[in-house]
Structure 1
Amino acid sequence: MTTTTAATPEAVAIAMEDALDWAVRDSLTTYVTKIARGGYTVDGGAVEREGGVFSFPLRRAVREGADWRFSFVGSVRFVAHGGLMDILIKDPEIVVGPDRGVLATHVADDPDELLAVVALAAALPEADEAGLTWSGVPTQLAPAAVDLFGTVYPAGTEMAPISIRIALDS
């Protein structure tokens, strides 16, 4: 594993295929595109993959003690009802430790502010000689994000699972 160390924290070398994959919530995508006659845009380096999964490339991975902070780039914006529904997931970050994890998004009006979107049902990703991998990690809507989703989903609502892959240099 190649790491750059400044005292603490450790920054991990990033490979091009490193990413967060998340479909947000299938019923949301269906509602926006088919019922509400809206749409979504993918921007800033994020891409849409097969099955409505959005892939956000890794910008930075930092280990601080037992915790990891993964910062990703790109955005997906769901807009419907003539702009009355406007949900932006931008430059998501995941902070995870041995017993907790959260996925947060940057808030549109304040690029320095993060909003916790979902709690992760698993802690640290599995590590092997190839890197760190999470696959199909269950998520639940965080109380702070209820308003982001227009109060349609209550706190604790199951959202789409996330997957992360981060290759580590040997």
Structure 2
Amino acid sequence: MHHDKHEHEHEHAAVQAESVFVYVTFIGTTPDDLWTALTSRAYTERYWFGMHHECDWQAGSPWSLRFADGRIADSGAIQQADAPRALVIRWRNMFRPELHAEGDSLCTIEIEPVEQAVKLTVTHKLPQPHSLFIEAVAGGWPRILSNLKTLLETGEPLMPLVAGE
């Protein structure tokens, strides 16, 4: 009996050892248009507060997220690219030392048609408890994805401000 209890404690510890942020939204668009919005610079700059990705969106390729002035905010690599269904990015913060120190996170973006809309699920994980990076993206992702949803549905972003202004 004691052995079982110990195993259960170990499993519980494993669950606690990662930080996870999940955001789900439904957007009045198509999977292809959502994929384009997620991967094209012309779209990204409009809802990501002037920031853009540098990437060719192929599995194994390097990826970076850059400020309007070209400085690298985050970088990593594409682990999976299955247009227009799923994108997995190995993602590390590059401009805040305390976030950079936490190492790589994994961002999974899933796109699924649901009735007349598209379900977008963004899951961002980092393999340590109480991650400052996950806390930061938990504040950033809802703003970015709300902006994206509004842009796709109306043609204008919700909050057009540029990061750093």
* TM-score normalised over the length of structure 1: 0.32
Which structure shows the higher strand fraction?
1
Between structure 1 and structure 2, the one with the greater Rg is 2
Which structure shows the higher helix fraction?
2
* TM-score normalised over the length of structure 2: 0.33
